Structure 1
Amino acid sequence: MRIVKSYLHPLLAFMLAAGLTACNKESASTENASSSGNTAETINIGSDMTFPPFEYMENNQPAGFDIDLMNAILKQSSATANFMDTRFSNLIPGLDGKKYDAVISGMYITQERLKKVDMIPYFKSTESVVVLTDSSYKPKVRDDLCGKTIATQKGSLYPDQLNQLSKESCLAKGKTAITVREFDTSPQAVQAVLAKAADAQYDDSSVARTTVKKLNGKVEITSTEPFFPFLGGIAVRKGDTTTYNRINEGLQKLKQSGEYDALIKKYDLQAPTEEEIKKLMN
């Protein structure tokens, strides 16, 4: 695990410990799972529990926007979620291998992923750059990343995006390339910034805002450019129309009842419009 332990901040240690504790468990049952022997159908859900506000461990239980949303979705069809923690790069292979029935983990919808799985859009976002608050380095746009070491999450699209930015905004203009450092989890990437082993972190904007709050202002978001706007989606194995319809229909019911909007507001996220869904899905 690539992490500089000697500089571990207490709040960050809590975040890391939560994720690592979850990693050692084969699965984590949700709080609303039946304790009375109820035979309600259980749906196995893969997720990387180190990505607040989407998913994380709290008091040894899965918590976050994705957890609350999936619990509410499955409740519409009297089913129960069994959340199974793993690292992000293992999620789609695990879904393909039938370890999970579905995956919800702040995952981008991309054409490449749509060739492997079906995805149901449920939020929109972009990326942000996080730096130490007391640093003189205050990157605002993509060109400001040239020649710097940027930490990000392994297995996500972020390394590819940074390499694309490096090629188009740095090398093509005669500037020094971006050095991309990949870490297994988002908290580990933040730790690299705290330890001054990286100049900045590149992450989902919602996650970056949560990081700033949890670290009490030790880091800040300085970027002003929306790098790669995207839709996030719930992944279902191709051909599994039963699970796809169960989740999609449950999500639509939550939108109609107002519960979806309440969760979006609670976790400070953004809901895509139908027009944005049609545009970005195409």
Structure 2
Amino acid sequence: MTASARRGLTVTKHRAALGALSCAALLALAGCSDQTPKDPSPSASGTDKPPLHDDLPESVKKAGVIKVGSDMLYPPMEFVRNGKPVGVDPDLAEVLSRQLGVRFQFGNGAFDTLLTGLRTKHYDVVMSAMSDTKERQEGLDPSTGEKIGEDIDFVDYFTSGASILVKKGNPEGIKSLGDLCGKKVSVQSGSTAYDLLQSQKCDDPIDIEAYDTHDEAQARLKSGAVVADVADYPAVAYAAKTAGGGKDFEVVGDQIDPGPYGIAVLSSNSALRDAIQAALDAAIRDGSYGKVLDKWNVSDGAVTDAQINAGT
């Protein structure tokens, strides 16, 4: 497998007790929340029934809800503000709801538990800046190649690579992954940034510290305990723009190993998968998809059509 820096696979965790407590506190605060209106907007044609409502599985139409698993600790893709989910993925869910005529109900969970929740039917879909990979599609353990779960399909909606976040002014002069050799670097556990760092050829290996949330990994950089934080480009760019009013961090180098994010759906639930794909294609065509990406300054990751399982 080619190493990928996108948000992804489970890794051995280096835990910080205080960070874990802060994560748990936020999860307890966030709980589950509806992102979309109780009565989704009528279609652009003025009819009462949204255009793709009939394409949904009967169980979803009856429930009126698509249950979404998401790790709401990854701005700007998804996070909690004033007790409600906000960000790229919640806004896109709202756009999709107008096409499908059902609510998207976000449930907050740890990233590396989301696919388990999907397979046990706790969620209908996962929207959480999740990389579409062959291992996930085929339900394989990335380390052993063994089958560990049901196949999953991804409706791909965004493209992102990894980036390197450093302290403002780049005091260590870091320009690429090679400059991290022999140094301490933080990542989010459950992220394939860990695999990217492990695959880096170094005479003196990178000292990788993995934490439960990107906020914790970022805090380690701010404290000076590590020299860099490696994560998906949208999260890194957002941190550079917002942390300390833009005075704490900066992004160095180019995006690394870009690939697709996908909305995860069980392969056995093909009707829901196809309805979501059609809704996303409609949103791309009518411009509402682009407006969401523009709002969060991530338009560089836009796709031109909604593909299924484009990840490798």
Once the 2 structures are TM-superposed, how far is the Cα of residue 138 of structure 1 from its aligned partner?
Answer: 2.6
Unaligned runs of 5+ in 1: 6-15
Q: Secondary structure at the match of 1:76?
A: helix
Match of 1:104 among 124, 127, 135: 127
Q: Distance in 2 between matches of 1:210 and 1:79?
A: 30
Match of 1:261 among 273, 282, 290: 290
CA deviation vs aligned residue, 1:4-43 (integer Å, no higher than 9, x gap): 67xxxxxxxxxx67x84334554212251359xxx76111
Q: Distance in 2 between matches of 1:58 and 1:134?
A: 30
Does 1:148 find its partner at 2:189?
Answer: no
Q: Secondary structure at the match of 2:256?
A: coil
The residue type equivalent to 2:97 in the other structure is L
What is aligned with 1:2? Answer: 16
Match of 1:179 among 204, 207, 213: 207
Count of aligned pairs between the two proteins: 261
CA deviation vs aligned residue, 1:91-122 (integer Å, no higher than 9, x gap): 11111111100000011111111113100110
Q: Distance in 2 between matches of 1:243 and 1:113?
A: 18
Closer, same or farther: CA 107–240 of 1 in aligned 2, 3 Å: same
Match of 1:211 among 222, 236, 239: 239
Q: Distance in 2 between matches of 1:214 and 1:233?
A: 26
Does the CA contact (< 8 Å) of 2:30 and 2:84 recur in 1? no
Once the 2 structures are TM-superposed, how far is the Cα of residue 249 of structure 1 from its aligned partner?
Answer: 1.1
Does 1:271 find its partner at 2:302?
Answer: yes
Q: Distance in 2 between matches of 1:234 and 1:279?
A: 10
What is aligned with 2:143? Answer: none
Match of 1:28 among 33, 39, 44: 33
Does the CA contact (< 8 Å) of 1:31 and 1:61 recur in 2? no
TM-score normalised by length of structure 2:
0.77
Map 1:21-100 onto structure 2 (within 5 A): 21-24=26-29, 26-30=31-35, 32-34=37-39, 41-100=64-123
Q: Distance in 1 between matches of 2:253 and 2:286?
A: 35
Does the CA contact (< 8 Å) of 1:33 and 1:81 recur in 2? no
What is aligned with 1:8? Answer: none
Q: Secondary structure at the match of 2:255?
A: coil
Q: Secondary structure at the match of 1:56?
A: strand
Q: Distance in 2 between matches of 1:281 and 1:157?
A: 14
TM-score normalised by length of structure 1:
0.85
Q: Distance in 2 between matches of 1:112 and 1:34?
A: 37
Does the CA contact (< 8 Å) of 1:153 and 1:189 recur in 2? yes
The residue type equivalent to 1:33 in the other structure is K
Once the 2 structures are TM-superposed, how far is the Cα of residue 218 of structure 1 from its aligned partner?
Answer: 3.6
What is aligned with 2:57? Answer: none
Once the 2 structures are TM-superposed, how far is the Cα of residue 272 of structure 1 from its aligned partner?
Answer: 2.8
Q: Distance in 1 between matches of 2:71 and 2:311?
A: 24
Does the CA contact (< 8 Å) of 1:56 and 1:62 recur in 2? yes
Q: Secondary structure at the match of 2:252?
A: coil
Q: Distance in 2 between matches of 1:226 and 1:134?
A: 19
CA RMSD of aligned residues (A): 2.5
Closer, same or farther: CA 278–62 of 1 in aligned 2, 3 Å: closer
What is aligned with 1:10? Answer: none
Match of 1:128 among 143, 148, 163: 163
Q: Percent of pairs identical after alignment?
A: 27
Does the CA contact (< 8 Å) of 1:51 and 1:186 recur in 2? yes
Does the CA contact (< 8 Å) of 2:177 and 2:197 recur in 1? no
Greater mean alpha carbon deviation, residues 135-144 or residues 234-243: 135-144
Once the 2 structures are TM-superposed, how far is the Cα of residue 46 of structure 1 from its aligned partner?
Answer: 0.3
Does the CA contact (< 8 Å) of 1:125 and 1:230 recur in 2? yes
Unaligned runs of 5+ in 2: 1-14, 41-61, 140-151
Task: Name the one with the larger helix percent.
Answer: 1
Closer, same or farther: CA 55–148 of 1 in aligned 2, 3 Å: same
Does the CA contact (< 8 Å) of 2:85 and 2:106 recur in 1? yes
Does the CA contact (< 8 Å) of 2:157 and 2:261 recur in 1? yes
